[in-house]
Chain A
């Protein structure tokens, strides 16, 4: 994998459903993996910064895991709510050959229907 890739590109779920999406990134030159939530017309909001293989982080109903050896991270949302509707971005630090600039995926657009 040369770029940061996210899947699915978009998904629609019903309120109360649990969901997850995937971020794949180059496992070489890895420094950190960032997750952001970006709502329309707002600033991207930082969710997690993950650095260690096997790391798991949780913030309310949202959690994330990290596998640096195989180059993937999963983001989970438990009991989705309409306010969770947003684009979820992941970004790898190091993929661009430097240890300071983030390389972003194209995002997963989540729509939660009431």
Chain B
């Protein structure tokens, strides 16, 4: 079956521009997560969705970052007025509506480069 997909796979933007990253989770997966990996760092949690609600946004680094999820499916992560420190690989993961210990399935990521 289809896995988690993300688009675009690569995005190069200029400092100050807005970008939108998209995640299509596995069908039927109600839990959705965004993570990012900056150079030399481990994967860092950004936000967690259960259905269309985001009970935990604590990982979003600043108010320039926002995310939404519609129809319990597609999610978009928006970064406004991008800065060079936003350059990273942004990964999305989804999980079947079972227990929190269940596997999170990851997409291939979006590599964002801010010039």
By a beta-carbon cutoff of 8 Å, the part of chain A in contact with chain B is 4, 31-32, 34, 36, 41-44, 46, 49, 51, 89, 91, 93, 96, 98-107
Q: Name 11 interchain pairs, CB-CB below 8 A, sorted by A.
A: A36-B106, A44-B106, A46-B105, A89-B42, A91-B43, A96-B45, A101-B45, A101-B59, A102-B45, A102-B104, A106-B42
The complex places the Cα of A85 from the Cα of B109 at a distance, in Å, of: 19
A104 touches B103 (CB 8 A): no
- Is the Cβ of B43 less than 8 Å from the Cβ of A89? yes
The interface residues of chain A, by DSSP majority, are classed as loop
Having A93-B100, A100-B48, A102-B45, one finds 14 other A-B pairs with CB under 8 Å, namely A41-B108, A44-B91, A46-B104, A49-B103, A93-B101, A99-B100, A100-B56, A102-B35, A102-B104, A103-B45, A104-B35, A105-B42, A106-B41, A106-B42
Residues of A within 8 A of B63 (CB): none
**Which residues B4-58 have CB closer than 8 A to chain A?**
4, 31, 33, 35, 40-45, 48, 56
Binding site for A on B (CB under 8 A): 3-4, 31, 33, 35, 40-45, 48, 56, 59, 91, 100-109
Contacting residue for B108 out of A42, A89, A106, CB 8 A: A42
Cross-chain contact of A43 among B3, B31, B35, B100 (Cβ < 8 A): B3
CA distance in complex: A44, B90 (Å): 12
